[in-house]
A and B are shown apart, each in its own frame.
Chain A
Amino acid sequence: MSALLALQDVSVDYGPVSAVRDVSLEVSEGEIFGLVGESGCGKTTLALAVMGLLPRSAQVQGRIDFQGEDVLALPEAARRRLRGDRISMVFQDPEAALDPAFAVGEQVAETIRAHRPVSGREARRRATQLLTEVGIPAAERRYGDPPHRLSGGMQQRVVIATALANEPALLVADEPTTALDVTIQAQILALIRDLRDRHRTTVILIAHDLGVVAQLCDRAGVLYAGQLVEVAPVERIFDAPEHPYTKALLAALPTRAHGRGSLPVAGGRVPDLADPPPGCRFAPRCPVRMDACERVPALTSREAGHVTACWHVEAEAAA
């Protein structure tokens, strides 16, 4: 497997706020990669950095290679040609992601026409076909409906149809099920998996819900306060987590074992990103903190395909 997307020391700052710090990551062709972390840890910022859609106030550093090309070095016109064509994105809230003044079918057709020199009629035909493919019944009739006539689940299917319109190599799905209710969530996740299987689309799935990641992903990365702390195959994240933050996150999952008692929570709070801790950003909350944590730990590997950025884990492995 070759790396479709490779991030190298990517940092994003909003003025004094360090939203993402030195994230390095490879995503292989055809895999579903989960990006996990709590709200505000930089998941969406990272996704927007890949898309090239960060606001102008954001400064991006590092390298983002997509299909072997450093996209951060590309001019805006070339990045626009990538968006919606080879890289596309699904958003968290489908109702907000669809233009209320536009027919849903038109929004799919617009995506096609932004990249392909096809006639309006041809775009309409393909858009209808896409709407059918993502499971919208009577797509022909739904084509002209404004978004508010569709349910949340149907809206998200339309958003997915726009994202798939030009058969992208990479789909970035930013919490695609957070705004939907549980039964619809399962349908949308099944749809994403099905699309990956049929088109070999690589998917980056951003989620704060570990259950979603467990269901769908091949590998997962854990972000904490803008730092990537652990990357591993999804089974290992759940069965053999190494980083203390990953462990805390898993411990906070509600299971039957907890019964009616209160859930364990990680003590302390997420650091102020305008003044983050100098080394490992989890250090102030970490139960196994040591002096070395004043310096940033590197992602190191003990098991093949499993990397963790933690001084404690390294020290234990060395002992």
Chain B
Amino acid sequence: MSAVAVVLRTRRRLRGRAAVGAAILVVLVLVALLAPVLAPHDPNAIDPSRVLAGPDASHPFGSDALGRDVLSRVLFAYRVSLGVAVGSVLVAMAVGIPLGLLAGYHGGWVDSLLMRPVDLLLALPALLLALSLIAIIGPGSGVALFAIAVIYLPILARVVRGSVLGVKGEAYVIGARARGVSRTGCMLRHVLPNSLGPAVVQASVLMGFAIQIEAALSFLGLGAQPPTPSLGLMLADGYQVLQQAPWADIYPGLAIAITVLAFTLIGDGLRDHFDPRGVSR
């Protein structure tokens, strides 16, 4: 088999993977949006007769230590988790991309002024940073969103700055200037669109991790607060009864795993799309 054929086959498989990731994600988003319709029971309804009851026809995922329906709770928790993950990445992008763009494009003292504080954030361990923010503001899923955004901001800003540094020297940017486009016009119309690829790839991977961080914070009791259902909280609760009722832990765990998988597959596919030669791999 020729090398070309191998490459073609690999490319096709990767494209297939991205499609699978996107399909999973669409289903997951629909599930999150339609949670109130799909959930068979009230996620917070306590049923003493069903404490740690196993799966059956009306409760396919079983019940937890308080007799609440695990399926309904996973659906509602998933809404919160996905919301925090997507929200945190969007906030980080909204702040990080302009920062990286300005710093990379203008360079010099603008770069130092904008990037030194960002580097400072990067110097602190992610979870420690989140913990100290929560210690200052107090726990809650909104705070978790903000904390994750603060962790991601320097990562995205640096990724954008890096690609801007490369793109701004491209002949087409000098070409645009030669056509009389202003510096700002060049930055927004030519440098920004051509620098976004790596940031978008990074963002899709970071969303997967955000689900995990949110779960970790909630597991530690620092994210969503009861009675708000959250995947991390469910893991923490289910962990106590893992031996008697594994379903209380397995299903929220699976939800996290599938979401991370979907985002990773999409990230792979996007990287393949933006960087087909695999330069940044």
Contact = CB atoms under 8 A, between A and B. Distances in A.
Given A51-B178, A83-B177, A84-B178, A93 B194 contact: no
A51 B173 CA distance: 14
Interface in B163-210: 170-182, 185, 189-190, 193-194
Contacts of B193: 101-102
Chain B interface size, under 10 / 10 to 19 / 20 to 34 / 35 or more: 10 to 19
Interface residues of A, number: 29
Contacts of A89: 175, 178
B188 to A, nearest CB: 12
Given A80-B182, A99-B190, A100-B194, A110 B176 contact: yes
A195 B178 CA distance: 19
Nearest to A114: B180
Contacts of B182: 80, 114
Contact of B181 (A110, A159, A163): A110
Interface string A71-88: 000000000111111001
Interface in A86-118: 88-89, 91, 93, 96-102, 107, 110-111, 114-115
A253 interface: no
A96 B194 CA distance: 13
Nearest to B173: A99
A82 B179 CA distance: 9
A202 interface: no
Contacts of A91: 171, 174-175, 178
B193 to A, nearest CB: 5
A62 B128 CA distance: 58
A53 interface: yes
B26 to A, nearest CB: 26
B179 A88 contact: yes
Contacts of A98: 172, 175
B194 A159 contact: no
A102 B190 contact: yes
Contacts of A166: 180
Given A99-B190, A99-B194, A114 B181 contact: yes
Nearest to A47: B178
Q: Is the interface of B mostly helix, strand, loop or mixed?
A: helix
Contacts of B185: 114
Interface string A213-237: 0000000000000000000000000
A162 interface: yes
A81 B180 contact: yes
A114 B180 CA distance: 6
Nearest to A48: B174
A101 B171 contact: no
B172 A53 contact: no
B180 A85 contact: yes
Contact of A162 (B170, B179, B190): B179
Interface string B143-175: 000000000000000000000000000111111
Contacts of B190: 99, 101-102
A170 to B, nearest CB: 12
A110 B179 CA distance: 8
Contacts of B189: 102, 110
B181 to A, nearest CB: 5
Most chain A CB neighbours (cut-off 10 Å) among B174, B176, B180, B193: B180
A100 B191 CA distance: 11
Contacts of A80: 177, 180, 182
Interface of A: 51, 53, 80-85, 88-89, 91, 93, 96-102, 107, 110-111, 114-115, 159, 162-163, 165-166
Interface of B: 170-182, 185, 189-190, 193-194
11 contacts: A81-B180, A83-B178, A84-B180, A91-B174, A97-B175, A98-B175, A101-B194, A111-B179, A111-B181, A159-B175, A165-B179
Given A88-B178, A159-B175, 7 more contacts: A80-B182, A81-B180, A99-B172, A107-B179, A114-B180, A114-B185, A115-B180
